[in-house]
Amino acid sequence: MRVIKYLLALLILAVLAIPAASFAQVAVGVSIGVAPPPIPVYEQPICPGDGYLWTPGYWAWDADVSDYYWVPGTWVMAPEVGFLWTPGWWGWGDGGFFWNEGFWGPTIGFYGGIDYGFGYFGHGFYGGRWDHGHFFYNTAVMNVNRTEIHNVYNERVEHVTNENRVSYNGGKGGIDARPTHEEEAAAHERHIPPVSAQTEHASAARSNPEMRAKANHGDPPVKATARPGDFSGARSTAAGRNEAGESRTPGHVSDLPALQRPEPVNSGDAKADKKYQKQQEKLYAKQEKDRQKLEAQQEKDHQKKLNEAQHQQMEQRHQQQTEQMVQRHAEERQALQSRAPQPRAAPAPRPR
């Protein structure tokens, strides 16, 4: 009887030793004393082809240099039909931050309540669904070329945006979220760990010194890629890179690359295409005006005589203004793209 009580006591101590942040997932690695940086603002690159699923960007830890580094969001082929990606997440527990590994599975599990964007708004996934062996993309939140990928639908998602872009659960300033019963159940289903394309993608980010938080101050030069490891083609998704491809902090509107004029669409419906083109031009003009107005205001602020503390506060305010505008404009373009005219189906051949 005494032996049984001793074993029960050991079992209770073992359970209590599991970090609170792990919930239904297992925390891996060592405890980190400093919180990961906020999630940077970025645009989602267009889906490279049918069957690719979006995996959000995240901050990983490199123990060799004692620093976080950004792993860009990217499109990845699902390892099995019907499988979805549950992102990894940082959680606070036992006096430090622990990383909970992401996984592939038939349903979405808990990912810390973190708002990663693009359908991952804290709980569940709203970016698409599997239907009869094909993945259907929700163009309300996913950047998909509808002239090439036809298995799409449009379903608006009401959610509260994580304005502070907090990247961890629990602790001081962290997201206060707990798993639902469905998310806990998902953790016990059959899983597949990150595929080789994902691990190689993360390894490439780790080997790039520019991706480290101490080097980029939370603003990595490449924030998202169209395919795993394709950092060279990610210039357009990295806010704040000039035409020469040099990394620039998007602290001001003048640091941003020029707006790209909308490209014409050809769905086969000339009337609908013309109407959509006018909507695109109208949005382009509005966003260009927004830029000019904010740039003029920021330039006016720079003419003021300020002390060091006031100047630092002004620069922080300018960076926040610029990031908010970039995010707002990206959401406006995605909303318009969701209303793009659907390509007409080819007429059936006449019987001979």
Domain boundaries, the chain: 15-257, 260-302+328-339
Higher-scoring residue by pLDDT: 308, 285: 285
149-157, long-range: CB < 8 A, 24+ apart: 149/47, 149/49, 149/50, 150/343, 151/50, 154/338, 154/339, 155/126, 157/119, 157/121, 157/126
For residue range 4-45, list pLDDT tens digits in order. 444 444 444 443 333 433 344 444 557 899 999 999 989 899
For residue range 228-286, list pLDDT tens digits in order. 988 765 543 444 333 333 333 457 888 777 787 877 777 778 898 899 889 999 999 99
pTM: 0.62
Tell me how far apart the alpha carbons of residues 261 and 112 are, in angstroms, rounded to a whole number: 38
What separation in angstroms does the CA of 226 have from each of 26, 58, 116? 30, 16, 17
Q: How confident is the model at residue 52 (pLDDT cuts 50, 70, 90)?
A: very high
**Looking at residue 249, what is its pLDDT?**
42
